[in-house]
Amino acid sequence: MEQEGSANRLGGQLLFSMTTLFVNACIREEESRTLMLCREYLEGKPNVVKIDLERLCLRPLDKATLDYRIERQRAQDWDDGEDIEIRSR
């Protein structure tokens, strides 16, 4: 049985399995034609990792946040008390 990114020998040859990363950015979900095409393409493919961007709590990087981070870096203040967290809604 093949594992993600694993190598197996078959008849003296070294075979590698590949993992497909599918980043789903389709906001319309079931109404999305793009998502429908992607699902059809991925059907039956082994080792597919799916990430749904709509379900992650991502914050955009705006100018104020970037300026703050640069200021902290210049001061070599790496502990700003803010934890970076990725979580599902």
**In the chain, domain spans:** 1-56
Return all residues near 88 (Cβ < 8 A) that are at least 6 apart.
55, 56, 57
* Band of pLDDT at residue 12, cut at 50, 70 and 90: low
Give the number of other CB atoms < 10 A from CB of residue 73. Answer: 10
Distance CA 41, CA 64 (A): 41
What is the rounded average pLDDT of the residues 73-85? Answer: 75
pLDDT of residue 10: 64
- pTM greater than 0.75: no
Distance CA 36, CA 28 (A): 11
For 1-24, give one letter per residue: b (16+ CB within 10 A) or e: eeeeeeeeeeeeeeeeeeeeeeeb
